Structure 1
């Protein structure tokens, strides 16, 4: 099913940026029918998942293995047209802004360890590509960004009012993503957007703000949670624009971040201690524990919270120590907001490289033990509850619009839940959400592997076939790799 793009180098500085993925399509399979859909011109609208971002970067092979490109190949057998992608220049991955690297390079497995590939990307964001294009997946985009004017203005990248990935193929500095997307009068579309409206908050360990009730996105910081009302208004406007000329399409709901390996790989009790070290740490935290008990005796702190905050180590596996802003503020009593983590806390993947390191090479200052982890390293239950609730509200909007507009709905959330809770079996291949070994997620723990993209392509196909009575064929997951090698040809 996979096709390789054959792009010609025209001059030292001019490269054809996208080629048809369907130029070498086989003879038409008469068992495949389009039903009530029209796949003549398909466009994909979304964020990094739609773009094909994988292994912590955007690169050619990842774009070719993106779910929209896979779908376009299946659409080809049902009179689907070409699918143009704003391809990157290489498989190193990443992006330059005036010669300075601002993203990437991609990761690969080096003796079982995720490692950056060698070399520098050759993709320069200031080199604007000429469209038209079919894939409007913009890494980093939130829902409201797709309607934001000047989101493709390269001069606004440093001030974070624009996106370099969109700037490199926007039709003009003042255009919007949705304007460029609908310019070609698509007959079919997919929309998978909204993940970043909550994901950036989660990746930051919940350091952003809940903007519920505030529709002024210009006042948002990058890690804030998008107001559900703003999300609903934006999503509705996007679908109205896409369906103005009766185009049909498929929408995707948003999975819980708690199902992504970025938040489920690092265990809360990952500190292994000797009895001697446990005793040393207990001595260090003894004044803190005694202070909690005194405040509980005076009724300033409940007994339950005092117990929750008490820090105690034993020989063997121990829970790490974290800061928790949701605890009762005791700074006026000279006590910080510390406690040990529990299984309800979600540590971000990058904390695995930080826990156990020393502060200024001081052996008495160990991060996660004698020095509690800062808020940015962990999602507390309160923060996860906010994320899940907000995701549910976003998904209610998506579901309602799909029903109202008569569009297909790909239930990505349920698939991610199943991968997290149990497994999915395909042709004797076991797929789970486990980091590295699960087969679905790439090495950044958030984005999909090629096989993961093939998996959700089949979810899209199921939804399309059910809604529009088409008979598109599913893709064979075995043809898509779990991991890319250091060198991709």
Structure 2
């Protein structure tokens, strides 16, 4: 049975009316810019990929130049802010993946399949592996490091050495660390704040749950416990506050899982089959389905579970066969814990390239048909609930930390901003910000996780709004519609 590449069925986007749009933006009331009760002379930002400007699956020049931190620092200049130096990656395309002949490929771009007309993300070539940082480390302001968690932000191993026995190693931090293998990210950021810093942004914690989620909740060891998160947050944020007792700051929280296109682009019924393919696949599951009926009759499973586990394909779009460890363990009777996906499941974006494809080069083992989709590709309903509960707990700790330091900190509720974007209630100049990758209004870059430049402008405006409200400042907002979203298909 030969399957078409499933990507052709996932990114069926219409671009008939799209163009590189520029929209008007209502100007703020004409008032003299003022810092109010805060001081923005030198801002220091610490965070992960969101602060770094990671977009389209990589860190590259345009992304770095359009992070919310860079946009925010530019607006601070209207009220006395100074330069904001970033650890430039010096790459037009960044590095996404190794391609044919061990050639690095760069950022994701929208491409049109010349055969099918389907549109979807694909890496551009060539790309660049991260090179050494050639700037002045002592003058850096942006300490956003892709992939960093609260734990790795606090330990020297993040800066090196690059060795198999050091899983904490992060090349993005190693290239800019003040003393690789000795210094820490939090320590470097705190040192910059102590050296004349007056204001800081803090956005850490996302990766303490995101990595677990994007891996289909298949590796519980990387999910931070509530106790560890609270302690590490207190350590990291406390270090920043202690670095300069006069400095004020804005702290951002963690977005909800269901707003990320990474978990929404591959539908639960993403498996297209012809009538002949469905018939052939069903023949292979006759013994399995018959055994389920017998086990129900013996009282070993309920009728509801038998129905859930029964595999049945039809012509057209189908749920894919997948692992489900929450099912009754029938391994002793020779039956795997499998079922077909349904609307309660969330597939990860990585499944798009694997679904319907041969496993291990064996044409008889087609992932999602004759071979079950593995745990790392799907979030079960119970796993979604676990992740959402974790996000709620972490955000509670973040909010409590801000409240405990209310004289110096303000919360930027990015979770709320993106929740509203998902309902279509965030806009600028009449143009909506959507929780999608679809240009021109889609707010997420093509990796389905990280905001694009236009969304970063909305995030910067959120920071400006809460800062203005908290400290009586009048920092002008930016026009998000002047920032590029995702490029049109090539």
Could you state the TM-score of these two structures normalised by the residue count of structure 2?
Answer: 0.85
Equivalent residue, structure 1, for 2:297? 297
- Matched residue SS, 1:113: strand
Matches within 5 A, 1:245-256: 245-256=245-256
Deviations 1:289-311 (A, max 9, x none): 11112112212212222221111
CA distance in 2: counterparts of 1:414 and 1:400, whole angstroms: 17
Equivalent residue, structure 2, for 1:208? 219
2:153, 2:185 within 8 Å by CA — same for their partners in 1? yes
1:148, 1:176 within 8 Å by CA — same for their partners in 2? yes
**RMSD (Å), alpha carbons:** 2.5
CA distance in 2: counterparts of 1:208 and 1:360, whole angstroms: 22
Equivalent residue, structure 1, for 2:370? 370
Q: CA deviation at 1:265?
A: 0.7
Residues 103, 296 of structure 1: alpha-carbon distance in 2 compared, 3 angstrom cutoff: farther
Give the unaligned 5+ runs of structure 2: 1-29, 113-118
- Matched residue SS, 1:183: helix
Per mean C-alpha deviation after superposition, the further-off stretch among 83-92 and 62-71 is 83-92
Deviations 1:44-103 (A, max 9, x none): 11100000000111112211100000000111111111111000122121399xxx9998
Residues 208, 483 of structure 1: alpha-carbon distance in 2 compared, 3 angstrom cutoff: same
Equivalent residue, structure 2, for 1:426? 428
Equivalent residue, structure 1, for 2:91? 90
Equivalent residue, structure 1, for 2:238? 240
CA distance in 2: counterparts of 1:423 and 1:260, whole angstroms: 16
- Matched residue SS, 2:121: strand
Q: 2:123 pairs with 109, 116, 125, which one?
A: 116
Deviations 1:363-402 (A, max 9, x none): 5432212222111111111111111001100000000011
Residues 191, 122 of structure 1: alpha-carbon distance in 2 compared, 3 angstrom cutoff: same
Q: 2:206 pairs with 170, 175, 195, which one?
A: 195
2:443, 2:451 within 8 Å by CA — same for their partners in 1? yes
Q: CA deviation at 1:356?
A: 1.8
- Matched residue SS, 2:276: helix
Equivalent residue, structure 2, for 1:474? 477
Equivalent residue, structure 1, for 2:307? 307
1:154, 1:164 within 8 Å by CA — same for their partners in 2? no
Equivalent residue, structure 1, for 2:13? none
Q: CA deviation at 1:337?
A: 0.8
Equivalent residue, structure 2, for 1:5? none
Q: CA deviation at 1:425?
A: 2.5
Residues 68, 78 of structure 1: alpha-carbon distance in 2 compared, 3 angstrom cutoff: same
Q: 1:137 pairs with 119, 136, 144, which one?
A: 144
The reply to whether residue 227 of structure 1 matches residue 230 of structure 2 is no
Q: CA deviation at 1:122?
A: 6.1
CA distance in 1: counterparts of 2:362 and 2:131, whole angstroms: 42
- Matched residue SS, 2:59: coil
CA distance in 2: counterparts of 1:427 and 1:196, whole angstroms: 33
Equivalent residue, structure 2, for 1:22? none
CA distance in 2: counterparts of 1:103 and 1:52, whole angstroms: 20
**Higher RCO structure, 1 or 2 (CA under 8 Å, sep 6+):** 2
Equivalent residue, structure 1, for 2:416? 414
1:125, 1:165 within 8 Å by CA — same for their partners in 2? no
- Matched residue SS, 1:43: strand
Q: CA deviation at 1:154?
A: 4.1
- Matched residue SS, 1:189: strand
Could you state the TM-score of these two structures normalised by the residue count of structure 1?
Answer: 0.85
CA distance in 1: counterparts of 2:397 and 2:410, whole angstroms: 14
Equivalent residue, structure 2, for 1:216? none
The reply to whether residue 161 of structure 1 matches residue 168 of structure 2 is yes
Give the unaligned 5+ runs of structure 1: 1-28, 210-219
CA distance in 2: counterparts of 1:326 and 1:102, whole angstroms: 41
1:95, 1:123 within 8 Å by CA — same for their partners in 2? no
1:154, 1:163 within 8 Å by CA — same for their partners in 2? no
- Matched residue SS, 1:226: coil
